[in-house]
Amino acid sequence: MLCVKVKIISNKKISQKYFKIGLEAPAIAKEALPGQFIMARLNNGYEPLLRRPFSIHRVKGQGLRVKGEIEILYEVVGEGTEILSQKKYGEYLDIIGPLGKGFDYPLPLTPYPLLVAGGMGVAPLVFLAEEIKKCQSVKVSKCQTLVLIGARTENQILCEKEFKNLGYNVKIATDDGSHGFKGRVTELLEKHLRSTKHEARSTIYACGPKPMLKEVAKISFEHKIPAQISLEEYMACGIGACLGCAVETKSGYQRVCREGPVFDTKELLL
């Protein structure tokens, strides 16, 4: 875990209230794993007082001649993210990271990984998808990755292009049917599993709202498929001191910021 001031190298609006911010953070980029996050102080004053958590969306340019960059995907939903959206190139952010426990993708990889994202749940899954691709590129393991993205409407679909650029099969579910399958992304997941012959060799990696993750856990249990889910919880400190993000598990209460945010569904009591 590092506490550093990092330079903003981009902060772009990608659609409606969604932004991507690039941070020059070589030390964090070197250590970061898919599913981990940072805590960022968004203002030098007292408002907002607490740091905000953000999933590490991508890690770019780690090498001898290129400084490491991390990218954060965020939605403007309140005072803190509104302040963040006004930040300019060359300004600095005070961040702590990388934090938490990320996704476990042991080698050899599962032949048929399933990435399931609901809304802003795509944020950590792009980083995971890129790391899975790296494993394939060095021929350590071959797999066929399917990405399922859910959103309320077509205008709120995020990162479809990024996943497709990696060569992955991408399927979309929208609540209003404006793009792809009409219904919830968990319904699309269930439909896929009923039609595939490969469920016994699949692993689910998911992030999104708690009701969606609860349904993913149920589906994984019914189909006897391993599943890891990244929980979204309010965090005050991000380092396990305040106990404000504790969730109930079979081993007692555990902190999302320390023992998570990624948990095996077999351990959770959702």
List, for residues 54-104, the tens digit of each pLDDT value.
999 999 875 544 579 999 999 999 999 999 999 999 999 999 999 999 999
Q: What was the pLDDT predicted at 138?
A: 55
Where would I find the beta strands (DSSP E) of the chain? Answer: 2-15, 18-24, 37-41, 52-55, 58-60, 69-75, 92-99, 112-118, 146-151, 169-174, 181-182, 202-207, 227-230, 246-249, 252-255, 262-264
CATH 3.40.50.80 segments of the chain = 112-267
Q: 118 near 140, Cβ under 8 Å? A: no
User: Average of pLDDT values for 116-142?
Assistant: 85
CATH 2.40.30.10 segments of the chain = 2-99
What is the C-alpha separation between 174 and 216, in angstroms, rounded?
17
DSSP assignment, residue 119?
G
What is the C-alpha separation between 116 and 103, in angstroms, rounded?
13
What is the C-alpha separation between 221 and 132, in angstroms, rounded?
24
- For the domain with range 2-99, which CATH number is right: 3.30.160.270, 3.40.50.10280, 2.70.150.10, 2.40.30.10? 2.40.30.10
CA distances to 20, 75, 170, 257 from 79, in Å: 17, 11, 33, 22
Least confident of 10-14, 43-47, 213-217, 253-257: 43-47
What are 110's two structure tokens?
A: 């599962």
- Asked if the 112-267 domain carries CATH number 3.90.850.10, the reply is no
User: Average of pLDDT values for 173-191?
Assistant: 96
Smallest CA-to-CA distance from 259 within 246, 242, 269, 250 is with 246
Q: What was the pLDDT predicted at 243?
A: 85
- Cβ-in-10-Å burial (0-12, 13-18, 19+) of 36 comes to buried
Tell me what percent of the residues of the chain surpass a pLDDT of 90: 74
